[in-house]
């Protein structure tokens, strides 16, 4: 898989909230083929979130402080820094980062087609549906059917929100899906975390485990098996407290709008002696 070509700290991923409008519109291109498509999030955020509150019920917010004198800092006081070694940074301005932004494009540049099994699940980050646009239904269906029958998926690049993404284009049941991919140097190998090399287990032990697996085997998995039970319990707790008017606080303090937050760029590799990465297995 391709390696990362920039040291810029990744921006937030595209919003995954469910919407009836496309998140992004562009064109799948390869060779002389051009297929207009709309991009829709394939997932939605359903996790419950809890806010941190003060003793009086006022919502708390995060701020940046100087580690030396404890002074609170606002946007104009902060700059971005790339850590080259411990406690040593190279300052990079917003203007310099903007000049590093990829060229704006509306193309999903399909570069290669590989066997589906070549793209390991570890690479997948965020899923999106691709829908035909601009009267491209026939070309869309032809591409989906051809990819599915050949057992191949596409690897492409796309620019969204001034950030270049590596994506896999997959076809399932006549539908094209785009999966943003992690870069190869973002994955760890079993060797990296000290996992032992696999060894052949005794046949008797394998047989016992095989029987246990068969006892719990199902041909299909239902949505009920994938429920978020913790969130369900939390929401029921909140509903009970609302019904009994228990532990409910209201804040009348208008929240102060935070200044522009500028994060320091985290080092992805040290300059100079860079440790050679192990080959992912």
Structure tokens at 78: 């902060």
Least confident of 24-38, 145-159, 215-229: 215-229
Sorted by where each begins, the domain ranges of the chain are 24-192+228-243
139 phi and psi, to 5 degrees?
-65, -40
24-192+228-243 sits in which CATH class? mainly beta
Taking Cα atoms as reference points, which of 269, 279, 264 lies closest to residue 81? 264
Question: Across residues 41-61, what is the average pLDDT?
Answer: 83
23, 123 contact by CB (below 8 A): no
- 18-20-26 Cα angle (round to 5): 100
Least confident of 17-21, 78-82, 119-123: 17-21
Structure tokens at 208: 């016992």
pLDDT in tens, 28-50: 999 899 999 999 999 887 767 78
pLDDT in tens, 167-203: 999 999 999 999 999 999 999 988 888 998 888 999 9
User: What is the C-alpha separation between 248 and 241, in angstroms, rounded?
Assistant: 8
pLDDT at 47: 67
């Amino acid at each position: 898989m391709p390696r990362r070509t920039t040291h810029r700290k990744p921006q937030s991923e595209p919003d995954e909230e469910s919407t009836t409008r496309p998140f992004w519109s562009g064109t799948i291109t390869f060779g002389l083929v051009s297929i207009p498509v709309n991009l829709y999030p394939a997932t939605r955020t359903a996790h419950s979130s809890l806010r941190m509150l003060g003793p009086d019920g006022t919502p708390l917010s995060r701020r940046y402080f100087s580690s030396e004198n404890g002074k609170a800092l606002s946007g104009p006081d902060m700059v971005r820094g790339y850590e080259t070694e411990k406690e040593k940074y190279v300052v990079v301005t917003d203007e310099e980062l903007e000049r590093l932004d990829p060229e704006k494009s509306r193309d999903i540049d399909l570069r290669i087609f590989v066997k589906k099994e070549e793209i390991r699940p570890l690479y997948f980050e965020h899923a999106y549906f691709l829908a035909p646009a601009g009267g491209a239904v026939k070309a869309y269906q032809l591409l989906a059917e051809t990819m599915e029958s050949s057992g191949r998926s596409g690897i492409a690049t796309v620019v969204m929100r001034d950030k270049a993404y590596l994506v896999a284009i997959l076809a399932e049941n006549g539908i094209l899906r785009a999966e943003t991919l992690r870069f190869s140097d973002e994955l760890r190998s079993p060797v990296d975390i000290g996992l032992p090399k696999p060894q052949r287990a005794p046949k008797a032990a394998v047989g016992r485990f095989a029987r246990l697996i068969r006892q719990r085997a199902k041909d299909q998995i239902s949505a009920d098996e994938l429920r978020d039970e913790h969130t369900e319990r939390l929401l029921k707790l909140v509903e009970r407290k609302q019904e009994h008017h228990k532990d409910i606080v209201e804040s009348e303090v208008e929240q102060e709008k935070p200044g522009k937050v500028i994060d320091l760029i985290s080092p992805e590799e040290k300059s100079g002696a860079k440790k050679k990465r192990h080959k992912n297995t």
